[in-house]
Amino acid sequence: MFKVGYTEVRGKFYPIIELILEYNRKEIGISAIIDSGATLSVFDAKIAEKLNINLENGEKRVFQSATSKLIAYVHELEMTIVGHKFPCKIAFSNDLSTSFNLLGRETIFDKFLITFNERQKELMLDKVE
């Protein structure tokens, strides 16, 4: 089991983890907030650019929230979280209005048992076998 404390950002605490993305043998280390309310992971398009991913070659998806619309392009790549590497789908967008990359449920939550301990401000991940 992997346990990490929440990260404080501007006086608020968030379940943010470090991870590695890999595409065509190019790797980048980044952080993302684990968002159980998000179906799909959504990252800033600048991450795709750093990995030499042609953004618009991905599957175009439009996400609608209560206040805005987000256009993103889904790509398959490799992700490593706490030493576990696996294929995943990530939507990259120029419209991401949060300051965090978002780790959603699809292709992530089936790999780990994820526990949010709000009282202790801790996140626990346990690899599902």
CATH class name, domain 2-127: mainly beta
Q: Residue 63 has what pLDDT?
A: 85
Report the predicted TM-score, pTM, of the whole model to 2 decimal places: 0.90
Contacts of 2 (CB under 8 A, 6+ apart): 82, 124, 125, 126
Question: Cβ(73)–Cβ(60) under 8 Å?
Answer: yes
Q: Is the dihedral of CA 47, 31, 23, 38 positive or negative?
A: negative
Instruction: Report the half-sphere exposure of 73 (CA within 13 A, side-chain side).
Output: 12
pLDDT in tens, 47-101: 999 999 999 999 999 988 777 788 999 999 999 999 999 999 999 999 887 789 9
How confident is the prediction for the chain on average, in pLDDT? 93
Contacts of 54 (CB under 8 A, 6+ apart): none
Least confident of 6-10, 18-22, 36-40: 36-40
